[in-house]
Chain A
Amino acid sequence: MSVGYRPTPYTVPPARSSSRLLRRDGAIRRLDWALLLAVLALSAIGCALVWSATRPALLDSGEDPQAFLKKHIINISVGLTLGLVASLFDYRMLRAYAPILYLLSIGGLVAVLTPLGSTINGSHSWIILPAGFSVQPSEFAKVALVVGMAMLLAEKRDAEEDPRDIDVLLALAFAGVPLALVLLQPDLGTVLVVCALVLGVIAVSGAPIRWVLGLVVGAVLVATVAIQVGVLKDYQLDRFRAFYDPAADPKGVGYNVRQAQIAIGSGGVHGEGLLHGAQTQGKFVPAQQTDFIFTVAGEELGFVGAAGIVLLLGIILWRVARIAMGAEDLFGRLVAAGVLCWFAFQAFENIGMTIGIMPVTGVPLPFVSYGGSSMFANLLAIGLLQNVHMRRYT
């Protein structure tokens, strides 16, 4: 490890960096282009969908019909910049900043619970900033958790050695704090995603199998008890009930589920065409630019577009998995594995709830949904993975 624990960020003058990056074995040449292109393609589709989903409401209220689209493009640009930054310095340096990132995210999550926080869609997950911006700290916490867990479980074991029980316990304790804070918001969707992430990192770290199985069994037990004891809020339970029987409450929670499926199903093979979906343009599906954006794709772009999104996600996940496989050290692999589980579960949960195979929990579709924090976190993660990928043999 040539680069040690430097106290200040590693920066280089732009000119020098580009020349260095463009060398035969330079970072640019080593970039995972397939991953980047898939992310950009998905983001572009996301722009179109956000535009189509928000246009009617903006037209109704007499605002600029492209207002959301513009903000979304800004979000993507900011996110790409963040990703670029995250890919430039050697990821191994991150180990030094992991505690800072972790503490920052804990701070954010705590702030949400104070009067600074705001409630949107039943989740007390946001901090409203001036000038119409808002931050969802739990999204950034995912990045911090991936890095932190990877650091804890990979520390001292870049040799052929698997984590010991104490390391696993430490990692769990480490993950437990933000998890508890997210649970307090309560943001059930993020909790589930974080659980998948934690489980994935622990599993891939090579920790004893009893931990992996124990965590799965434990999660099921906790979920059962939570439902039985009544820790969950009524609206959360309703969402689960609506999942089992969407017809039970067609005007309440079941409405979302039903309208989402009508939108997607009515798209058919080729879709109604962008801006021409009756369900979308009639705003029948709530939250259609954020959590339910997949319904817009399903209706207006049809099976071709919807399956295309799933395939692009598949390409991203495949590249992420490849990065995990090819990572030079366990830290890099664990970061990649954590992101893999995060994206995979979050995408499955999001699309699954719109097509009626998962209960409704509020998580955005990676790279597609409108929302700055989520977009930033996703692109940060991609930047980190490119970082891992580029520095395989240096």
Chain B
Amino acid sequence: MSERSRLRLVVVQVLVLSLLGTLLGRLWYLQVLASDDYRSAATENATRQIITPAARGMILDARGRPLARNRTALVVSISRTALLRESDGGRDLVARVATVIGKPFQEVWDKTRLCGSSGAPLAPKCFNGSPYQPIPVTDEADTQMALQIMERREDFPGVTAELTAVREYPGPLGANAAHELGYLGPVTDDELALRNAGTRKGVRNETVLQRTDVIGRTGLEKQYDEDLRGTPGVKTLTVDHQGAVSGALSETEPRPGNHLVTTIDARVQAEAEKQLRAAIRRARGEGDINKGFARRKADSGAVVVMDVRTGGIVAMASWPTYDPNIWVGGISTKDYKKITGKKNNYPNQSRAFQGEFAPASTFKAVSLPAAVKAGYSVNGSYNCPAAYSIGGALKANYESQGYGVIPMRKAIEVSCDTVFYKFAYETWLRQGGLRPKKGTKDPFTEMAKAFGLGKRTGLDLPSESDGRIADRAWKRGYWKATRDFYCAKAKTGYPEVARKDPTRAAYLLQLSKENCADGWAYRGGDAANFAIGQGDTTTTPLQMARVYAAVANGGTLVTPHIGRAIMTPEGKLVREIEPKAERRIPVSRSTLTWLRAALRGVTERGTGYGPFARAQFPLAELPVATKTGTGEVYGKQTTSWFASYAPADKPQYAVVMMVSQGGTGSGTSGPSVAELYKTLFGITGNNVVLAKASPPGGHPTTRLPTVGADGTVVQPPGELTNADRPQAAPVLPPFRREDDG
């Protein structure tokens, strides 16, 4: 054998050795250096999660009546794996199921298509869940259908009929409370990514969202979503390359969500809704004295019943409204258009905490303390002419004549505007008129801010409105934002309007010129308007209820809230939602005492008298403090306001009702408020039976209901008397007294 052969063999051996070395090197990289990446890829490959949704907690009223609960529904589901196993892709199976549940084949078939897969219809017709989740095709199956499916297992492979929880808003005693409860909606991709981002970083988030979850979209359902939702059960399955299940890795049971106890009383809520509807009917049935005898539009309205000590909302209603159950299981396009459209005047908007309206004379509860701050004594007498001249222009008393020189008390009782024009205008002049000294604080706008107007109250519901205080700063800001428009219009005029209505065009041109030149100016007229709650200043009915609660409870500006407590499904208290107060209003006790007496006088002798007299309300047994308001809105009918609290001597509730384009306060809203008080204090005829009141005792429910582990609720004792209630003035912690002028 040649040396050459031997040499060649050595070369071959070196080559072989290098091949083996290459293999080892690559293996080292794959299995040691890059192993983690491949490991996670393998996990993704070989495991699938099955989600069992947790039963959502109930929303209960103050006495434990469910405002939102879960109805058990028979849900028929089809396993996608079973469909794929069929030779025809499961068409035949789906057809059989469709026949049994009595739905058209196409609808059921569409429901089994994964959203986003080829040939699938768009949401909500397609299935939005994971491919490994059984697909629910109906939640309205009856026992008969379920039996047919369960008894013929061989005809229905992979089809199940199971009891599942479906949200339901039962409307106890007729209470609708749609705007407060809100609704649920399927989770979106963005929310999924956002909420689950934490878990990927290794942080175990208790409330991680799953694709099939529904989450609160508005109202209490959204505000307390994390409490109500619970934790879904997750079963991790191992699957093979075809997706067939080969075993279970881990399983966690679903943990039902906690219950939310609210301050709402279903009976009062139902009555408030009923009385609001009554007020609107009343308004529509009577003519508007300013507009001939045309019926009033009464396009919308709201009512708020608030616990004056805690700010707890006992009832809050808005009209128009809708049935919250239309959201369950996905809202139809038709219904969605109906409740969000202009045609029905946006029933999804709550006028109570989202609607902004000029508060009109109910605002005098704010203006009066402001006037006192400005130096006008409550013990003085003031001239109440029919009209008051401001810078040469006469501003009239609305709906009122002149009363001559009257004591301040009577100015409140008869709601004399001209007295307040005088206070505001003189104060404005003293402060320098159009060009005030720097740092000057207008007592009227400052008082409005101190009463919490112009910004949201902090109610525990999403999307609350701020309202607006049209003070100097606002006017300047508004002018800056609009002056380009007005200055352009001041040059071009309104030719398109002029063709039809030359007078109006001339008026608009004049307005544009003024706005362009000195729209920033806070005029004497603005100040006068502000004092009687007119002009550009707006508030929500909720804000006004809070103002009257502050007057009633001795000067604490409470933070309105609906959430009362969170309880576990087993009925254990998780936490109480403590009432909060924002501040003490800067009004002296003597002024408040005087104001309360004056407001009581309004009911007994003034503009608030009519509704209670007509309702034959026993004011002697149950005195009520009220203030009416009739707001003028340019181009619209007047806004009817009725603000009140009762009992006037030991206040429990503040009740505010508002009807947009509803006429006068006492004519439209007043009678409804009087009726509402009859429910709140158990009044029949001339008798006040507090035990028959709703809630019992004539005061807000203070004890929590008892919730059993099975979801049953025991109402707190009903015969509580007022004595059972902690009487020590405001249950709130004392607040630092601010400049108690």
Q: Which residues of A contact B (CB under 8 A)?
A: 56, 60, 158, 160-162, 200, 203-206, 212, 259, 261-269, 278-279, 281-284, 298-299, 302-303, 306-307, 310, 313-314, 317, 321, 324-325, 329-330, 333, 337, 340-341, 344-345, 348, 351-352, 355-357
Contacts and interface: CB of A to CB of B under 8 A. Distances in A.
B13 interface: yes
B5 A200 contact: no
B334 interface: no
A298 B27 contact: yes
Given A278-B43, A355-B27, A265 B12 contact: no
B518 interface: no
A209 to B, nearest CB: 9
B39 interface: yes
Contacts of B13: 321, 340
A321 B13 CA distance: 7
Interface in B1-29: 1-2, 4-6, 8-9, 11-13, 15-17, 19-20, 22-24, 26-28
A333 B246 contact: no
B381 interface: no
A307 B26 CA distance: 10
B45 interface: yes
The 5 closest A-B pairs by CB, nearest first: A265-B38, A266-B42, A278-B46, A303-B31, A282-B240
Given A203-B11, A267-B35, A321-B16, 7 more contacts: A204-B8, A264-B38, A266-B35, A269-B31, A284-B46, A284-B240, A348-B20
- Quick one: which of B2, B6, B238 has the most chain A CB within 10 A? B2
Chain A interface helix/strand/loop/mixed: helix
B12 A204 contact: yes
A265 B242 CA distance: 21
Nearest to A350: B23
11 contacts: A60-B244, A203-B11, A263-B42, A265-B37, A267-B35, A269-B31, A282-B45, A282-B239, A284-B45, A298-B30, A352-B26
B34 interface: yes
B240 A283 contact: yes
Nearest to A281: B246
A118 B289 CA distance: 101
Contacts of B24: 307, 310
A299 B31 CA distance: 9
B28 A204 contact: no
B1 A160 contact: yes
A56 B38 contact: no
Nearest to A357: B26
Contacts of B238: 278, 281-282
B45 A265 contact: no
B241 interface: yes
A358 B447 CA distance: 83
A160 B3 CA distance: 9
A265 B39 contact: yes
Contacts, number: 149
Nearest to B47: A278
B283 to A, nearest CB: 67
B41 interface: yes
Contact of B23 (A205, A299, A325, A351): A351
Nearest to A154: B1
Contacts of A278: 42-43, 45-47, 238
A344 B9 contact: no
Contacts of A303: 27-28, 31-32
A203 B13 CA distance: 12
A162 B246 contact: no
A45 to B, nearest CB: 15
Nearest to A330: B1
A162 B6 CA distance: 12
Nearest to A336: B9
A279 B42 contact: yes
A356 B37 CA distance: 16
B45 A330 contact: no
A302 B246 contact: no
B46 A282 contact: yes
A200 B23 contact: no
Given A268-B39, A306-B27, A279 B32 contact: no
Contacts of B41: 262, 265-266
A307 B6 CA distance: 30
B38 A310 contact: no
B617 to A, nearest CB: 76
Interface string B558-586: 00000000000000000000000000000
A262 B8 contact: no
Given A283-B241, A329-B1, A266 B38 contact: yes
A299 B38 CA distance: 10
Given A265-B39, A355-B30, A203 B8 contact: yes
B9 A264 contact: no
A259 to B, nearest CB: 8
A278 B27 CA distance: 19
A205 B5 CA distance: 6
Contact of B2 (A206, A267, A310, A357): A206
B648 to A, nearest CB: 75
Contact of B30 (A205, A261, A333): A261
B19 A265 contact: no
A25 B90 CA distance: 73
Nearest to A329: B1
Contact of A310 (B23, B37, B43, B242): B23
A344 B16 contact: yes
A336 B8 CA distance: 13
Contacts of B31: 264-265, 267-269, 298, 302-303, 306
A211 to B, nearest CB: 11
Nearest to B10: A325
Nearest to B28: A303
A357 B11 CA distance: 22
B2 A268 contact: no
A36 to B, nearest CB: 20
A278 B38 CA distance: 12
Contacts of A307: 24, 27-28
A337 B7 CA distance: 12
Contact of B8 (A206, A265, A279): A206
B9 A324 contact: yes
- Quick one: which of A261, A329, A352, A355 has the most chain B CB within 10 A? A355
A352 B43 CA distance: 24
A378 B499 CA distance: 104
A212 B12 CA distance: 12
Contacts of B239: 282
Contacts of A313: 20
- Quick one: which of A158, A306, A330 has the most chain B CB within 10 A? A306
B34 A265 contact: yes
Contact of A352 (B23, B32, B244, B246): B23
Interface string B247-279: 000000000000000000000000000000000
Contacts of B9: 204, 321, 324-325, 333, 337
Interface string B665-688: 000000000000000000000000
A269 B240 contact: no
Nearest to B30: A265
B32 A161 contact: no
- Quick one: which of B16, B22, B238, B244 has the most chain A CB within 10 A? B16
Nearest to A352: B23
A139 to B, nearest CB: 21
Nearest to B1: A330
Contact of B5 (A60, A206, A345): A206
Contacts of B16: 317, 321, 340, 344
Interface string B84-101: 000000000000000000
B4 A344 contact: no
Contacts of A330: 1, 5
Contacts of B244: 60
A355 B26 contact: yes
B20 A282 contact: no
A162 B23 contact: no
A170 B19 CA distance: 30
